[in-house]
Amino acid sequence: MMPELSTLVNVVFVVLFAPLLDGIERKVKARLQTRQGPPVLQSWYDLIKLLKRPSVEPSGSFGWLFRLAPAVALSSVLLASTFVPSLLARSMGFWGDLIAFVYLLALASLFLALGGFASCNPYAQIGSHREISLLMAEEFSLAFIVAGLAVSAGGLAFSAMFPLPLKASSVVGVLAFAVMVYVSGARVPFDVAEAEPEIVEGPLIEFSGRSLGLMKLTAYVRRLLLFTVLLNFVIPFGGVLRSSVYVAALLVLSAVYAAFEAYFGRFRTADAVRFLKRFAAAGFVCWLLAVLGW
């Protein structure tokens, strides 16, 4: 298959499957909470409903930034999905894939926060503050992990890193990355930026209709891409087998993460940041091991 076509297939798969994955997580959580839970397609139903509705702009907001934020956020995750091999192994590739990936995702978070600031709502301000503090703390750990993995794999291109060589440093790195995937996915206890009972979805509070739909889709795609990169680190083969193993692993991973999410209470922002700073030690270990050649 041509790389362009497989890229297209990948992007379409990501967009279609991400909300479905969220629906599955909701079902898993419901089971762990002794509930019936919504249908698996519920997240899709919600999205379709939202995308049909117009968005309302709060008076006193920075209109252009507020309107721009969802579009930029979604575009950045979609751009990331063009070069991350998901359903099909072949995809666009270039030097420095992982760095680009990390920064495109950070860009999406940044625009979520900016959109929140632009709405001028006090809850959104608090939420955006929290989002940024968390982002900073994440970057700190992630920098070590990415560096460690890169040294271990001998390059930053996905072609070099997928899959990773079996070394102590890559095992530690993948495990640490798995934790970062959990954190970046804004899951409890790290969902401080959107804590519903405290600050009412934080940066998202003023978004509605289409723009809220785009923001939600961004969040779903983001989670899926993080899973995908994590899986790519370990799935060793290509072809049809790869695709089915990938999808199955995706479902398992998502169920495991949802189970964790269902059984944790929320951190305070300071606690979350403190945790992440300590966690940077794991990244450091990974990097150290890699440099030592283990």
Beta carbon of residue 110, minimum distance to another protein (angstroms, whole number): 20
Of the residues 129, 216, 222, 242, which one makes contact with another protein according to CB under 8 A: 129
Measured from the CB atom, the residue of 81 and 269 that comes closer to another protein is: 269
Of the candidates 92, 200, 234, 249, which one interacts with another protein according to CB under 8 A?
200
Binding residues for another protein, rule CB under 8 A, total 34
Q: Which of 125, 128, 152, 211 binds another protein (CB under 8 A)?
A: 125
Among 20, 71, 259, 288, binds another protein (CB under 8 A): 259
Query: Which residues, 6+ apart, have CB-to-CB distance to 240 below 8 Å?
Result: none
Among positions 192, 217, 224, 255, the unique one binding another protein when judged by CB under 8 A: 192
**Cβ closest to another protein, residue 10 vs residue 184:** 184
Residue (of 115, 135, 140, 252) closest to 184 by Cα position: 135
Please check whether residue 128 is in contact with residue 40, taking contact to mean a CB–CB distance below 8 angstroms. Answer: no
Whether residue 66 contacts residue 206, with contact meaning beta carbons closer than 8 Å, is answered with: yes
Q: How far is Cα 187 from Cα 176, in angstroms, rounded to an integer? A: 16
Q: Which residues fall within 8 angstroms of residue 181, CB to CB, at 6 or more apart?
A: 226, 227, 229, 230, 257
Determine the interface stretch with another protein among 57-65, 168-176, 213-221, 256-264 (rule: CB under 8 A). Answer: 256-264
- Return the range that interacts with another protein (CB under 8 A); candidates 70-78, 82-90, 196-204, 228-236: 196-204
Q: Is the dihedral of CA 186, 191, 192, 198 positive or negative?
A: positive
By the rule CB under 8 A, 268 interacts with another protein: yes
* 101 and 227 Cβ atoms separated by less than 8 Å: no
Virtual CA dihedral for 124, 129, 130, 132, nearest 10 degrees?
A: 120
Q: Does 230 bind another protein (CB under 8 A)?
A: no
Neighbours of 252 (CB within 10 A): 11
Task: Answer whether 139's CB lies under 8 Å from 103's CB.
Answer: no
Position 264 contacts another protein (CB under 8 A): yes
Q: Does 197 bind another protein (CB under 8 A)?
A: yes
DSSP designation for 202:
G
Interface stretch with another protein, choices 63-71, 195-203, 210-218, 233-241 (CB under 8 A): 195-203
33 binds another protein (CB under 8 A): yes
Question: Least distance (Å) from another protein to the CB of residue 289?
Answer: 30
By the rule CB under 8 A, 59 interacts with another protein: no
CA distance 261 to 24: 13
Q: Which of residues 64-123 bind another protein (CB under 8 A)?
A: 122-123
Q: With CB under 8 A as the contact rule, which of the stretches 69-77, 80-88, 91-99, 186-194 interacts with another protein?
A: 186-194
Q: Which stretch binds another protein (CB under 8 A): 14-22, 56-64, 138-146, 194-202?
A: 194-202
| Contact status: 266 vs another protein (CB under 8 A) | yes
Tell whether residue 126 is a contact of another protein (CB under 8 A): yes
Pick the closest to residue 130 from 80, 183, 168 (CA basis).
183
Q: Which residues contact 178 (CB under 8 A, 6 or more apart)?
A: 230
CB 210 within 8 A of CB 50: yes
Instruction: List contacts with another protein (CB under 8 A).
Output: 29, 31-36, 122-123, 125-126, 129-130, 188-189, 191-192, 195-200, 259, 262-271
